Amino acid sequence: MPLQLKEDMIAKLIEESLFKYQALFDSNMIGIASTDFQDRILKANDAFLAMIGYTREDLENGKLRWSTITPKQYDDADAQKITELSQHKRIVPFEKEYIHKDGHTVPVLVGAELLDEALSVGVCFALDISELKELEQKKDDFIGTVSHELKTPLSVMKLYSDFLRNSIEQGASKEEMIESAREISAQVDKLSILITDLLNMARYQTSEPQFALSAINLLECAKEVVNELSLVSERSIVFQGERAVYVTGNQARLSQVITNLVNNACKYSAPGTDIIVRVHKDDKNGYVQVQDFGKGISPENQEKIFERYYRIDHANDYDDEGAGIGLYISYEIVKRHGGRLSVESDLGKGSTFTVSIPLA
């Protein structure tokens, strides 16, 4: 068959066949590209081009070829997939990577369908799964962190319980024994907070937890938390607020949020600096603000800290770090109250977290 005729037939076939996928093609929800299995990308939608950072001009100038966007290590797997395509007329979606125009790799889920065997033309569907992969990575890191967070208190408890046994056997002073018991109790508290967070996280992921809501006074709720934490913390937690602020909420869950914010403020600021808890209202919302004068959070991290598993690497500035789920849970609780949890922060100066809940 003359080359030009074949080219025209391929073009017509692609036009006709892509008509089948037109809605999908135009929706740009998924990257779609057609191929002649000769390294050429014949047609591609905007989503496909955006995924790999190329322009339509690049495509039309022939700059965009499968070999340009495919990392070498996928050559064998791709050859196998093309055989699968000619045998079964389709490729079951599989994971691979493309090379973005700027050089970074993009994890994708790719499937394909053979449009015409004789003309050897196919259409390929590609979904960018970067976010999914990132989440998987964060999950792996999270499991590592949680294992560490669970193991450390257990090791400390073991140490102090051995110490306590020796103290009893050797008739040590009552003070020494009380100190060991106190340390064991503090580690149990740490474990209990972590396990509660883990259970809460599982609940928030799988269902809409139902809160029993009633009119509560945010001022009293925050004051109680401050009083309780002041008893166990060496930090000065200053409470500001006078007028009652009634919101419709769940007292236990909102206490949990405020406790988490104050604990974070203590964890991520230097000993000796104040923590301020402020309660006020305007005509729509009640507010609880927790301010610290600590490390602060960079603007790019401010956007991410409410995500599940997200933690900032403070490069060992603070040794009492957590598992990256406290703010996620707090955010979800406040959201389910119809409110908002936000942060303002200056690196090196400190952070202010604000809970806003619609007034009752």
Residues that bind ligand ADP (CB under 6 A): 264-265, 268, 292, 294-295, 297, 305, 310-312, 314, 321-328, 351
Angle at 243 between CA 241 and CA 248, to 5 degrees: 100
Least distance between ligand ADP and beta carbon 344 (Å): 11
Q: Are 91 and 110 in contact (CB under 8 A)?
A: yes
Least distance between ligand ADP and beta carbon 156 (Å): 18
Residues 4 and 16: their CA atoms lie apart, in Å, by: 18
Least distance between ligand ADP and beta carbon 129 (Å): 25
Least distance between ligand ADP and beta carbon 201 (Å): 10
Nearer to ligand ADP, 254 or 327 (CB): 327
Nearer to ligand ADP, 215 or 270 (CB): 270
Give the residue carrying structure tokens 């703010």.
327
| 150 sits in which H/E element | helix 130-169
**Amino acid residing at 56:** R
Neighbouring C-beta atoms of residue 114, cutoff 10 Å: 19
Least distance between ligand ADP and beta carbon 204 (Å): 13
Q: And the tokens for 105? A: 């790799």
Least distance between ligand ADP and beta carbon 351 (Å): 4
Residues 247 and 11: their CA atoms lie apart, in Å, by: 64
Long-range CB contacts for residues 88-91, cutoff 8 Å, separation at least 24? 89/113, 89/114, 89/117, 90/114
Residues 156 and 106: their CA atoms lie apart, in Å, by: 43
Nearer to ligand ADP, 10 or 325 (CB): 325
Nearer to ligand ADP, 289 or 351 (CB): 351
Nearer to ligand ADP, 17 or 301 (CB): 301
**DSSP structural state of residue 72:** G
Residues 124 and 18: their CA atoms lie apart, in Å, by: 11
Nearer to ligand ADP, 282 or 313 (CB): 313
Nearer to ligand ADP, 64 or 329 (CB): 329
Least distance between ligand ADP and beta carbon 311 (Å): 3
| 281 sits in which H/E element | strand 275-281
